[in-house]
Structure 1
Amino acid sequence: MTGPRVVALGGGHGLSASLQALRHTTEAITAVVTVADDGGSSGRLRQEFDILPPGDLRMALAALCEDTTWGHQWTAVLQHRFGGDGEMAGHALGNLLITALWDLLPDDQVRGLDLVGRLLNTRGRVLPMCLRPLDIEATMVLPDELRVTVRGQSQVAVHPGRVETIRLLPQDAPACPEAVESITLADYVVLGPGSWFTSVMPHLLVPELLQSLRDTPAERILTLNVSLTDDEATGYTVAEHVEAVAKHAPGLTFDHVIADPKVVGSGAEEAALRVAVDRVGADLVVTPVGKMRKPGVHDTLRLAAVYRDIMTGGR
């Protein structure tokens, strides 16, 4: 199986879900990963070595490991996290492996990631959205309507209040050239699911990436979350998720928006979502894509079936 050329943008568990789903449809996958994480193991390594945060890149590589005993073993190794309370506590081994390769190849982060991919025999390629670490800054509205500025992915994700706008620092950071090229050559581009303001939308704030997304001849697919209860989406309806994308990325249109019926709702909620989807030029695909016994988690087989139907025209 080779299949269409697909670029998936995001980070964390949301990107892992889309990558695992896409593997059932094609092997020509490129993951373009956010590089604004500043918490946990990634944040510590980023601060100590002045490198891109490796955690979301590691998770994408693990999601693309081949479906063999070798692949499963290396996925476990990559994701293994050290316990205890010493200096190694909390670090994922895959983060340390990526950091070591970047230490050996200080001017070629992409080659370092490609070497990890070769070791794991991944079915696809993993790229950072930018070749320098970025910071997320958000304007948030508190319950008393006071507006505050919050800086840092880890802080934005948990800070009380409603996210009004987000931006990247620096605002003119150059995109990874290989990421721009992959979007230009893609047949399909998938944005989401994931933490909406800290994993999904940062890609739209890198000027070169946004322009390539506007210009690509690929079909663009927006995959909405199956839950509205994560901390950073507090107060947002599913329609407002789509409207936030349109607000932060003017001129960007989509061909398809995928939504689970549990978040679509009915009546006024569904009508508002259809209006928002129409404004970005897309057709709304409402179908179950969440796990039945794990609320808030995508079922990768259900999601794979939706991607396959879109890419084959329902055949």
Structure 2
Amino acid sequence: MSAPRVVALGGGHGLAASLQSLRHLTEEITAVVTVADDGGSSGRLRNEFGILPPGDLRMALAALCEDTAWGHQWSAVLQHRLGGNGELAGHALGNLLIMSLWELLDSPVGGLDLVGKLLNTRGRVLPMCEVPLDIEATVVGADPAAPDEITVVQGQSLVAKTPGRVINVRIVPESPTASQPAVEAIKLADWVILGPGSWFTSVMPHLLVPDIQEAIVHTPARRILTLNVGLDDDETQGFSPAEHVEVLSAHAPDLTLDFVIADPAVVRSEEKALREVAQGVGAELIVSPVRKMRRPREHDTLRLAAAYRDVIIGG
């Protein structure tokens, strides 16, 4: 029986957790990563050189490194941040390596593939688009002094920490060209996984790129939505588990799902509402303990791997 081909979509720590979990099940993994980050080292490099923000791509590569001394060492190199107070202070070394390869090869995908060879990654990392994007959100109550006022917040880093309630999100430019290798990977996948991650700035941007959304909607692959284990971050403050699924569906009305995975601590007394909303998009709700015991706002990669195994191998 051949290993399942899995495409995981997202960005940041959520995608990294998903990738580390999937490595226990298959080596046929493709990470499709959002490219809207505008903060930290990635934002600085993006602004100065006009490149894709490399940070989320770097984290995905590190998550897929081979489980050997060589892989762990190079993963640590990628993640290492430079100290001091100079111009390079705070930059992740992997971001600089990726940027250098992009300049040498003049190919975002080619540069990432070369880093993957260096780490001997178990899978492939692709950008969602080959141009940097911006996140724009319509927010109610972004100014605490005017809780009913509707404003527009632009920029991933600002949307991620807005104190208001996000009504909807868009990407700028509105209809960017998707990475064709990413589109092809989704079309050829056996399983497509959305989440976990920052809901409006890591999970949903994939559904805002027309060609990526179309590929997700029409792929013959089965689709899993992984809910976060902490639902009270700034982006989704006050959103119930069911509303997380509803807002996703509102931005991609034609999207159907096969499974929604949620931790019992997240579901609690709202399991019935979440199950009904999941059924409304064609999905079976899977309630499984996937969070860390001592850090309950983070996914436990072994527990998440077990949940994925039960769905993917059993599904």
Work out the CA distance in 2 between the residues paired with 1:7 and 1:265: 29
What corresponds to 2:103 in structure 1? 103
Work out the CA distance in 1 between the residues paired with 2:67 and 2:314: 27
Contact map agreement 1:2 1:28 (CA 8 A) in 2 = no
Work out the CA distance in 1 between the residues paired with 2:188 and 2:231: 33
Provide the alpha-carbon RMSD of the alignment: 1.0
- Asked if 1:170 corresponds to 2:169, the answer is no
What corresponds to 2:117 in structure 1? 118
Residue 278 of structure 1 and its aligned partner are, at CA, apart by: 1.1
Give CA-to-partner distance per residue, 1:227-249, whole Å, 9 cap, x none.
11211111111111000100001
Give CA-to-partner distance per residue, 1:136-179, whole Å, 9 cap, x none.
00000106211110000000011210111000001110110000
Residue 274 of structure 1 and its aligned partner are, at CA, apart by: 1.3
Contact map agreement 1:183 1:216 (CA 8 A) in 2 = yes
Amino acid at match of 1:37: D
Amino acid at match of 2:258: D
Contact map agreement 2:34 2:202 (CA 8 A) in 1 = yes
Work out the CA distance in 1 between the residues paired with 2:51 and 2:96: 12
Work out the CA distance in 1 between the residues paired with 2:76 and 2:203: 26
Show the 5 A alignment for 1:14-53.
14-53=14-53
Q: Which of 203, 207, 211 is equivalent to 1:204?
A: 207
Q: Which of 140, 145, 148 is equivalent to 2:148?
A: 145
**Structure 1 segments (4+ residues) deviating >6 Å:** none
What corresponds to 1:72 in structure 2? 72
Residue 40 of structure 1 and its aligned partner are, at CA, apart by: 0.4
Work out the CA distance in 1 between the residues paired with 2:303 and 2:271: 21
What corresponds to 2:295 in structure 1? 294
What corresponds to 1:159 in structure 2? 162
Amino acid at match of 1:294: R
Residue 2 of structure 1 and its aligned partner are, at CA, apart by: 6.3
Contact map agreement 1:33 1:129 (CA 8 A) in 2 = yes
Work out the CA distance in 1 between the residues paired with 2:151 and 2:225: 29
**Cα distance change of structure 1 residues 232 and 147 upon mapping to structure 2, 3 Å threshold:** same
- Asked if 1:127 corresponds to 2:126, the answer is yes
Work out the CA distance in 1 between the residues paired with 2:127 and 2:33: 5
What corresponds to 2:232 in structure 1? 229
Give CA-to-partner distance per residue, 1:164-218, whole Å, 9 cap, x none.
1000001110110000000000000000000011000000000000000011000
Could you list the runs of 5+ residues in structure 2 that have no partner in the other structure?
none
SS in 1 for 2:235: helix
Work out the CA distance in 2 between the residues paired with 1:4 and 1:118: 21
SS in 2 for 1:94: helix
What corresponds to 2:263 in structure 1? 260
Identity percentage of aligned residues: 70
What corresponds to 1:281 in structure 2? 282
Amino acid at match of 1:125: R
Q: How many residue pairs are counted as aligned between the two chains?
A: 311
Amino acid at match of 2:23: R
Work out the CA distance in 2 between the residues paired with 1:191 and 1:3: 20
